[in-house]
A and B are shown apart, each in its own frame.
Chain A
C-alpha cells in the first residue's frame, strides 16, 4: 500500500539523550517535511527537504537535525540541545495543492 509511515508511535527519552524519529514514504514525492505540534496548538515547521541530499531549516530547527540520503526516508533526530522536546511530531510529503501526513510520533521526555 502507498503511504507514509512513522515509527515509533510512542517514544520515551531520558533527558540528555538523542533520539531519532523515522519517516518513510513510498509515494515517490520529492518534498518531505517535519512538523512539531504542542498541545492545543497548530503545527510548526522544523525542517524540510525538497530533494535528496538537500534540506533546509524551518521555523523551529534549533535542537533538531535531519538527513535525506534516500528519497523515501527523512529521519529526524531530536538532540539533547532541544530544551523542551516533549511534543507530537508529524512527517509530511507534499506538493502545491496538498500535504499528506504520516500518523505521527508522540515523544515524551522523562
Chain B
C-alpha cells in the first residue's frame, strides 16, 4: 500500500504568490517524522523541512512551512512568496519509528513551475 501520497503531479504558481503542495501519509506508528525535499533539475536532493509527530507547532524554515494535520494524516508544504528558483520537483517523505533503522519512504513527487 502506498505510504506517501502526493496527488498533484504538476503545479503552477505565479511569482511572489504562495503555493501549497499536498502530502498525505499512512502509518500506524505513533512516533514518526515527516520531511520535504526539493530536487532541482540538477538532481541534487535538498532538505527543506522536518516535522516530528509529537511536535505541537507546525515547522517553519524561512519561506517554507509545514501544515501538519495529524488527525487527517496530512503534511502539506506551503511556500510563501514564490521565486523562479523554486521551480523543481518536491518530495514528501516519512520515517517510521517502528523500523529498525532510519528508513525514509518517499512519495512520487510534485513538479512545481513558477511563472514570471
| Listed stretches B12-20, B45-53, B74-82; interface member | B45-53
- Return chain A residues, CB-CB under 8 Å to B46: 101
* Secondary structure class of chain B's binding surface, majority of residues: strand
Contact A106 B102 (CB under 8 A): no
Q: Which residue of B lies closest to A41 (CB)?
A: B108
Would you give the shortest CB distance from A10 to chain B, in whole angstroms?
A: 11
Query: What chain A residues lie within 8 Å of B70 (beta carbons)?
Result: none
A65, chain B: closest CB distance, angstroms: 19
Judge whether A90 is part of the interface by a CB distance below 8 angstroms.
yes
Contact A42 B107 (CB under 8 A): yes
- Chain A binding surface, main DSSP class: strand
- Interface range, A side: 20 to 34
Cβ contact within 8 Å between A43 and B106: yes
User: Which B residues contact A (CB, under 8 angstroms)?
Assistant: 4, 33, 35, 37, 42-47, 50, 52, 91, 95, 101-104, 106-109
